[in-house]
Chains A and B, each alone.
Chain A
Amino acid sequence: GAVVSQHPSRVICKSGTSVKIECRSLDFQATTMFWYRQFPKQSLMLMATSNEGSKATYEQGVEKDKFLINHASLTLSTLTVTSAHPEDSSFYICSAEQVSNSYEQYFGPGTRLTVT
């Protein structure tokens, strides 16, 4: 159990376009999901907390207008990178929190974004 999927796994887009990444909890409901970004050879940095039915909470330094988060249901959160630039190229990983298991987070397989 506790499987989280992400789609797409890889995406290449041109500068100035927007890209949407989906995060789904497949076998449990998640009122809270998290979005992380990981640059090459670095650690994971929490970008935002996605709350079902309410606005996301962004970490300091993360532009909410650039990284739009929508948590429309108990199994789906989306991250839209708007007006992408090459410096947004990164590995984006989501996680879903399972309340019934001590709030442990389960991580998705990640999405590799390359902006050309």
Chain B
Amino acid sequence: ELKVEQNPLFLSMQEGKNYTIYCNYSTTSDRLYWYRQDPGKSLESLFVLLSNGAVKQEGRLMASLDTKARLSTLHITAAVHDLSATYFCAVDASGTYKYIFGTGTRLKVLA
């Protein structure tokens, strides 16, 4: 059974600081997705990572995928208050196209 874990679960950080959220998964997959969710809202797609070594950047966020280590990272650079949200990774369970979501990381950026 595919399991997806994120850490940390909660993150409170000051504006201007850098931090990394980790997403570990338990079985083979080479497709991983990052989403943002604001309170009461659905998911906003951030990154689609489809191969080993994939790296994508958008604004202050950068995501990477290491399929051999079964690890993806979401790096936040110089955080701003607007980045406060819950971030989820989701892994495509190989051969099924089902997404298994991580536990989520609730980020709070303090002004």
Q: Contact between B42 and A93 (Cβ–Cβ < 8 Å)? A: yes
Contact B88 A97 (CB under 8 A): no
Specify the chain B residue showing the minimal Cβ separation from A42.
Answer: B104
Q: Which residues of B contact A110 (CB under 8 A)?
A: 41-42
Do B50 and A102 touch (CB < 8 A)?
Answer: yes
List of A residues within 8 angstroms of B104 by Cβ: 42-43
A63 at interface, CB cutoff 8 A: no
* Stretch in B14-22, B53-61, B64-72, B92-100 with 4+ CB within 8 Å of A: B92-100
Residues of A with C-beta under 8 A to B31? 102
Q: What CA separation (Å) do A32 and B43 show in the bound complex?
A: 19
- Residues of A within 8 Å of B, CB-based: how many? 23
19 contacts between A and B (CB under 8 A): A36-B101, A41-B106, A42-B104, A43-B88, A43-B101, A44-B43, A44-B101, A45-B101, A46-B101, A49-B98, A102-B31, A102-B48, A102-B50, A103-B92, A105-B99, A106-B45, A107-B45, A109-B41, A110-B41
- Secondary structure dominating the interface of B: strand
Instruction: Note all chain B residues with C-beta closer than 8 A to A109.
Output: 41-42
Residues on B lying within 8 angstroms of A by beta carbon are 31, 33, 35, 40-43, 45, 48, 50, 88, 90, 92, 97-104, 106
Of the candidates A42, A103, A107, the one whose C-beta lies within 8 Å of that of B97 is A103
| A107 in contact with B42 given A43-B88, A44-B88 (CB within 8 Å) | yes
